[in-house]
A and B are shown apart, each in its own frame.
Chain A
Amino acid sequence: MGILEVKDVGKNFGGLKALSDVNLSVAENTCHAIIGPNGAGKSTLLNCLVGKLIPDTGSVMFDGQSVLGRSPHEINQMGISRVFQTPEIFADLSVMENMMIPLFAKRDGAYRLHAVEKVSNERTLIEEAERMLDDVNMLDKRGMHAAAMSRGDKRRLEMAMCLVQDPKLLLLDEPTAGMARADTNNTIDLLIEIKEKRDITIAIIEHDMHVVFSLADRITVLAQGTPLVEDLPENIKGHPKVKEAYLGEAH
């Protein structure tokens, strides 16, 4: 039994079958990659996991509980954090303020009025945020305006914001899309370090095979809304079905 269990999930958009019969089991403390050509339904699947979309059929269980029908903030409170394709951060706030928000969310839940206390009085949370920023080598940028940072730094900040909540499952949606090679390699190093240091399960959607094969313990190939194969990375590499899906017979 994995920490994330996806069973017979199907999702239609009008007449378009985006997902059908998706079964997926992600084991605890592993890195599971979901790959597939464009339009395979990877992002739809991810959106079904975080509460942005509700599947038409099937079930999604996380840590023994169903996530279906819960809103994104409730799912996050269950222990799932998500990194977006384009970094979603609080661009109008400073790096440190960006870090404080997930910490407050973790400590206080989805809502707490908390209107007369001072942010700067929260010593323990500030220390925690600083430790996390140090882990991703961004401590020197703590006072910086988040909008002014490079894309690579925004990505690191977003990851730090997710990790500081100490999630059980980290979902990564093409974390290196549009990145330069050097930034991509930095991100891979960062993710490998995270995997080694923490008890964390990672599910990653990725186009870049270099990233996938550096990180994944297991790979699911998705094509036309259905899982094609699920196997260890070394078996996926030369798999005829995968080649077919990517190069395509129809083309």
Chain B
Amino acid sequence: MFGLDKKDTSLLWVVIALTMLAPFILNPFPTGSGMAQFNAGYPDLMQRFVIFGIFAIGFNILFGLTGYLSFGHAAFLGVGSYSAVWMFKLLSMNILPAIILSVAISGIFALVIGFVSLRRTGIYFSILTLAFAQMSFALAYSVLTPITNGETGLQVTLDDPRVLGVSATADGSIPVTNLFGLEMRAAYDLVVGPWTFTFSVGYYVCAIVMLLAFYLAIRIFRSPFGLMLRAIKSNQQRLNYTGLNPKPYTLAAFVISGMYAGLAGGLMAAMDPLAGAERMQWTASGEVVLMTILGGVGTLIGPVLGAGMIKYFENIFSKINDNVLHSWFSFLPDGIEDFIVLVIHPFVGKGWHLTLGLIFMLVVTFLPGGLVEGGQRIARALRKKKEDEPKSPSTEPAE
């Protein structure tokens, strides 16, 4: 279906089901219960899951297929955000032109930066992209203040022209982002017994865009173009002597992944119409590298999983503070309770980076293929078990 083979189609269906049912899946605990703080099904966070999913999917097209590790992809994300906000300021609060401009402008940026950076490979390429991103960050932060509004960040204000929309609504407030009148902030709460599920327009817009982005990524992976990108990672020398010029291929991959980043940045601004220079900082570029490696480099679903996991840690795991820990271990005698809380304390709450770092180290060491490899191993082990079952108990297990 959709021009995909059976395996890819079922993968796509799984992702469709997961994203469409996310408000249920991520809200397993009843509101008001002790576990409710682990619910991730609120619009703001769900939007972040899928937006960073798009960012990571695009990054994986470059890093996963060609092996070129860019340390500056956040620059394209930032450029996308700024473009979108400018569109909201000048044209209208409709997100469609804003997102189109984000993708186009970040594509142009990627073309220029990629053209220069791709003259080198390996670590030198990474350093060049890092340098470009840091330059963009510094420019946005200071010199380009008229365009980026420097430290404060770019925001929509009441006196923006918005030629196709209105500068201010009838009641004198700033209009909200919408898709042909459908407000991004609009949400519907479904109450089922003790549970509350929130369905937000913003989330579903982001989710549909991510599904399209994911589908396009599958098509690229399975196309001759994708094959050439994998060949570049494998052996550039052979590719040269096979009559192919690797440079336009890598540049195209770089621009495509830059446009994905711009799309993510545009969506971010569409959900919350502001853009700041910190979106371009190198830590943001490093984050998408971590997402991709954690989920599984060069796999289709890996980057999305990695993005979800890191954002979950950042937003949910970080909420476990000492009070929460004390309430969990309150059944223990006082001294032991305090001791256990003391031991766990550095790993949770503000220390979530530590836990994530440990998980990252474990994944890289034992599962070089990321979470996807972990899933594959479990699936293989289960299949093996099933095959072994009908055999008589006396047979030795293989190996």
Contact = CB atoms under 8 A, between A and B. Distances in A.
Interface string A91-109: 1110001001110111011
Contacts of A172: none
A71 B233 CA distance: 20
Interface residues on A, range: 35 or more
Interface string B97-112: 0000000000000000
Interface of A: 50, 71-73, 76-77, 81-82, 84, 88-93, 97, 100-102, 104-106, 108-120, 122, 161, 165
Contacts of B244: 73, 101, 104-105, 110-111
Contacts, number: 106
Nearest to A121: B3
A193 B238 CA distance: 24
B226 interface: yes
Contact of B238 (A88, A109, A113): A88
Contact of B5 (A76, A108, A120): A120
A1 to B, nearest CB: 25
B243 A111 contact: no
Nearest to A105: B243
A90 B227 CA distance: 11
B242 interface: yes
A119 B226 CA distance: 9
B223 interface: yes
B154 to A, nearest CB: 33
B238 A115 contact: no
B38 to A, nearest CB: 40
A204 B161 CA distance: 73
Contact of A111 (B5, B238, B249): B249
Contact of B222 (A100, A101, A108, A120): A120
A114 B240 contact: no
Given A91-B235, A115-B219, A120-B5, A101 B228 contact: yes
A184 B239 CA distance: 26
B242 A116 contact: no
B3 A118 contact: yes
B228 A92 contact: no
Given A89-B238, A113-B252, A165 B243 contact: yes
